[in-house]
């Protein structure tokens, strides 16, 4: 007890959570796959055996093997190298979407939950409007309006992914709003802004983090979907969804063009889902108290 008290609280909490996640096989799988993804993205130049953009028209549609572990695509580019570099794009999308969506959802949700009344009414109706579209369709509309590119795809996904987070944060806020510790903070002259930031947001954070993690799988799939429809990353960027889209034409004869990017998407989104599930157990307030 005395030993653990010396570590700063956030570090201690992080260590506890990781230990907890690694103890269960499913969430351990998630952690390992994501660690592998991050390492791959960081060391892409070292891992990839070939340049992902160099075409070799003498060597197109080669099956796996012979110096190309996952084969080559219709322009003779090494699929393995493209997947490795694609990890960077996938991680960028996830990272950017998350840092946009998390704060927006959290702010909208906590403000509307804390103030209630008309503020809540207006903000939640706006949220409802966003929620009432299928997110892929809404992203499509945004990308169509903004023009197809990876950045616009990120913006579009960000714009469509925040409402569930806002809903969640609002529901959580409403359960804490009337707690005695909020009343005590009000009695001490704490401004609403300070109450939201210092008292309410930390309470909403675990469930928002879980939700964001579970959302990442959807984000990857949406990004891949947009890439597949030609509205996300543009050629020659090695984005996984776009790779499937171009590989589709050769699918019957050259299965490796779509299989390996597809497996990558599957693995990563599965990993995020499992990690999210694990986090839900790890961040459960009841478990918190036990630690």
Partner 1 sequence: MTAPVDIQNLSITFGTGPGAVKVLPSVSFAVAAGECFGLVGESGSGKSTVLRCVSLLTDIWTGTVKIAGKDVRSLPLRERCRLVQMVFQDPYGSLHPRQSVRTVLSEPLRIHGIGDRDARMRQALVDVGLPVDFLDRFPHQLSGGQRQRVAIARALILEPSVLLLDEPTSALDVSVQAEILNLLARLRELRGFTYIMVTHDLAVVDHMCDRFAVMQHGTITETLPRAAIAGNLATHPYARELIGASLEYEGHGRG
Residues that bind partner 1 (CB under 8 A): 5, 9, 179-181, 183-191, 194, 198-199, 202-203, 285, 288-289
Nearest CA-CA partner of 272 in 226, 204, 202, 223: 223
CA distance 89 to 225: 14
Cβ nearer to partner 1, comparing 22 with 183: 183
CA atoms within 13 A on the CB side of 124: 18
> What angle (nearest 5°) sits at the alpha carbon of residue 62, between those of residues 70 and 234?
70
Cβ nearer to partner 1, comparing 7 with 171: 7
Please, what is the minimum distance in Å from the beta carbon of residue 209 to partner 1?
Answer: 14
Nearest CA-CA partner of 37 in 78, 93, 110, 75: 93
How many helices and strands, by DSSP H and E, does the chain display? Answer: 14, 0
Nearest CA-CA partner of 36 in 267, 233, 281, 274: 267
Cβ nearer to partner 1, comparing 10 with 147: 10
CA distance 280 to 232: 31
Cis peptide bond upstream of 263, omega within 30: no
Cβ nearer to partner 1, comparing 145 with 187: 187
Nearest CA-CA partner of 282 in 66, 8, 18, 64: 18
Cβ nearer to partner 1, comparing 79 with 203: 203
Please, what is the minimum distance in Å from the beta carbon of residue 258 to partner 1?
Answer: 47
Cβ nearer to partner 1, comparing 114 with 142: 114
> Which tokens hold the place of 19?
């230990």
Please, what is the minimum distance in Å from the beta carbon of residue 231 to partner 1?
Answer: 42
Please, what is the minimum distance in Å from the beta carbon of residue 254 to partner 1?
Answer: 54
Please, what is the minimum distance in Å from the beta carbon of residue 106 to partner 1?
Answer: 15
The crossing angle, in degrees rounded to 10, of helices 256-282 and 240-247 is 150
CA distance 30 to 21: 9
Please, what is the minimum distance in Å from the beta carbon of residue 26 to partner 1?
Answer: 27
Cβ nearer to partner 1, comparing 125 with 286: 286
Please, what is the minimum distance in Å from the beta carbon of residue 197 to partner 1?
Answer: 12
Cβ nearer to partner 1, comparing 99 with 183: 183
CA distance 207 to 109: 12
Please, what is the minimum distance in Å from the beta carbon of residue 11 to partner 1?
Answer: 14
Buried b (16+ CB within 10 A) or exposed e, 3-23: eeeeeeeeeeeeeebeebbee
């Amino acid at each position: 007890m005395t030993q653990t008290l010396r570590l700063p609280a956030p570090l201690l909490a992080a260590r506890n959570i990781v230990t907890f996640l690694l103890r269960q096989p499913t969430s351990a799988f998630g952690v390992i796959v994501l660690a592998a993804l991050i390492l791959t993205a960081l060391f892409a130049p070292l891992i990839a055996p070939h340049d992902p953009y160099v075409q070799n028209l003498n060597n197109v549609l080669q099956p796996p093997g012979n110096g190309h572990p996952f084969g080559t695509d219709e322009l003779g580019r090494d699929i393995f190298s493209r997947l490795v570099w694609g990890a960077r794009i996938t991680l960028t999308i996830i990272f950017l979407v998350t840092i946009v969506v998390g704060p927006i959802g959290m702010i909208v949700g906590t403000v509307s939950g804390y103030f209630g009344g008309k503020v809540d009414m207006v903000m939640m109706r706006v949220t409802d409007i966003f929620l009432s579209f299928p997110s892929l369709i809404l992203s499509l509309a945004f990308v169509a309006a903004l023009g197809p590119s990876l950045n616009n795809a990120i913006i579009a996904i960000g714009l469509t992914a925040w409402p569930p987070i806002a809903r969640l944060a609002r529901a959580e806020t409403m359960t804490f709003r009337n707690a005695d510790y909020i009343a005590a903070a009000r009695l001490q002259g704490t401004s609403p802004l300070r109450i939201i930031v210092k008292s309410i947001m930390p309470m909403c954070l675990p469930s928002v983090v879980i939700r964001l993690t579970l959302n990442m799988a959807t984000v990857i799939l949406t990004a891949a979907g947009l890439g597949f429809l030609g509205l996300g990353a543009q050629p020659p960027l090695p984005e996984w969804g776009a790779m499937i889209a171009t590989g589709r034409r050769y699918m019957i004869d050259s299965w490796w063009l779509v299989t390996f990017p597809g497996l990558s998407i599957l693995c990563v989104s599965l990993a995020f889902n499992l990690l999210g599930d694990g986090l839900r157990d790890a961040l459960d307030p009841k478990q918190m108290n036990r630690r």
